[in-house]
Amino acid sequence: MLSLLLLLACGGAPPSTTTTTPTASPEPSAPKALGGPTQRGAYIVALELVPNPPPLSELFEVKVKLTDPQTGAPIPDATVSVDAQMPQHGHGMSTDPIDDPGQCDAAGVCTHPDGVYRTTGMKFHMPGKWSVSVDVVGPRGTDRVVLPYELL
């Protein structure tokens, strides 16, 4: 067992030095896209964090673009709720997120032009692994997705 570890420690070094040359260094600072299909596949969500990345312990907002997975068309007449938790710590955010109702008429019917839904009042008060949940109620039924986001 010990000899195997020594072998791995010694033998692994020469090839890895060639692969870790700093040729692809711009990648870590580039914000990665957050989104994908909801759990039942009823919707596609694409999230934009503003600002991105969100500064620690500062308010930020989330814009969710909601589209039909079959046609790719934006869905303006749904309800989208965004929240976030730290599952490994068993807690959520210290703020209450506020979902923008969109543009509402006198009868209380609201639409979201271009299928874009805003949620303000988001705050990551700790660095680490967050889960951003997106709950959708719309023309294709109720669905949700939970997206991992790590705040460094």
Name the residues that contact Cu ion, by CB under 5 A: 86, 89, 126
Shorter beta-carbon distance to Cu ion: residue 36 or 121: 121
Shorter beta-carbon distance to Cu ion: residue 128 or 141: 128
As measured in angstroms, the least distance from the Cβ of 89 to Cu ion is: 3
- Residue given tokens 């303006």 in the structure block: 76
Q: How many CB atoms lie within 10 A of CB 95?
A: 14
The identity of residue 13, as a single letter, is A
> Would the CA dihedral through 81, 84, 85, 87 be positive or negative?
positive
Q: Helix, strand or coil for residue 56?
A: coil
Shorter beta-carbon distance to Cu ion: residue 64 or 86: 86
Shorter beta-carbon distance to Cu ion: residue 80 or 86: 86
As measured in angstroms, the least distance from the Cβ of 131 to Cu ion is: 11
Which residue is closest to Cu ion by CB? Answer: 89
Cα–Cα distance between 112 and 142 in angstroms, integer?
17
As measured in angstroms, the least distance from the Cβ of 90 to Cu ion is: 8
Alpha helices (H) in the chain, listed in sequence order? 2-11, 13-19
As measured in angstroms, the least distance from the Cβ of 16 to Cu ion is: 34
